[in-house]
A and B are shown apart, each in its own frame.
Chain A
Amino acid sequence: MSGAAILQATADGILMGGVYAVTAIGLTLIFGVMEIVNFAHGALMMLGMYVTYWLFTLFGINPYLTIPVSIAVMFIIGWLMQRYLLNKIINAPQHNQLLLTLGVMLFLENLALFVWSPDFRSINVPGLDTSIQLGVVSINKPKLLAFAFALILTAVLFIILQKTVLGKSIRATSQERDGASLVGIKVKNINAIAFGIGTACAGVAGSLIVPFFFTSPGAGAVFLLRSFVVAILGGLGNFWGALVAGLIVGLAESLSGLFLSGSWNDLVIYGIFVLVLLLRPTGLFGGGRLSGSH
């Protein structure tokens, strides 16, 4: 095993980890505020992929310029989904909510199959198909950009949560729902907004991977399980935990691919997952209630 190969796998793993982190942050935000486990998260990410794919294919818009559109579209979808579906069963037992989000996932995936066919689609963006050579490591440009955007998004989201009135009311609602009601926060609105933001995270992650991943109705499923692993590893509801765990899972995936051959990496990831659930079910960093401070 050459040192160069290890460095290469490390770089690839970190870059992919950023994307996992963004999807997981969406999940963790939704769980932190509403304690809803959103199985539709991957399918929503897939919708984000199609937003970018079609805007590029039909109008030639650079995939990275489609991100604002993806955020807007996915925020609205998430908002509507919370307001008109999940809100109806917000007080129902958790497994009922789980079934509902699972239903939404199946609906969206089949809708995508019906409307866009099961074709695997890829785009070719001029200037993006090259790599940057850093010594022995070659960095795939779209992956680097995805990682950079992922970090920016995480930072922006963190600032929103820490500094704005909206962010403070989201954190307050996640920490003490009745307390939030008693200071006059419209908890129902906050739920819908938080779900919208979480969905927008999924959408952005979707947009970011379009340049180097096949867009297809089932694409989200691959990421759904990974984002669950990341969110739980980081501690459900823990913002920074998700970021660190994203990098860990990305690294574990690429390094295991290198040392154990490709087909092993899923096994390693779920092995980590099972171990965390058995040994430290609150995640590596403990479940935060969107405290944002650790």
Chain B
Amino acid sequence: MSGDMIGGFLKIRNLRKSFGGNQVINDFSLDVTERRLQCLVGPNGAGKTTTIDLISGRQKPDSGHIWLRGDDITGLGEHEIARRGVGRKFQIPAVLKGLSVRENLEVAFSRETSALRNMFRLRAPGCDEKLAEVARTVRLTGRLDTEAGLLSHGETQWLEIGMVLMQDPEILLLDEPVAGMTENEIELTVEILNRLKKTHTIILVEHDMNFVRKIADIVTVLHMGALLAQGSLEDIEKDERVRAVYLGTEDAH
């Protein structure tokens, strides 16, 4: 297996995962190139979120392998995968509701993860500068002392994007980051993502093809837990199989 790993940034091979006999991910393989924004699309139940779960360690695959920069990360704990530079944003925005916006961003600045060393640190070096920059980017500068549980839905989405930015991972896994956002907020997200993909690798799960059109370098279509098609958006839109899946002409299994 090791022979074909060279050059791949994130490489997924023959991944399988079933929940209670239901095969959710079925022999799925994927290559992700560095500094590209890759969209995972597909109908409900295609296995998009499960794929993100498997990469980030929330779920362990039944079989198959995932390599990040040539290192096998299959089956590692969530925190170990995160430390290797994988950041994640959840479908239902997961922020720390009892903490202030500032504290949410501070805790996400996780360059030092050792519990013992963190006992003797009141502040993390470089955190304040980064926090000011990220807060500006996600437009929460005026809300830093607000309790995160009191934010509006859009602001909560922004905060979680801000947390991923504070974490500064090499690869970002974003699960429906614009769900529930207004048109203006979506425009701003597009702006940020297009800037971010010059320096980061991004995998993004999305339903909304109009949004995908504005950001995607590569589109990957999942169907029934396997890769159905991959390519530029134009190629995908021309693809007969993809049309069949999306228009529902194919018989359901």
Query: Does chain A bind chain B?
Result: no
Residues of B within 8 A of A (CB): none
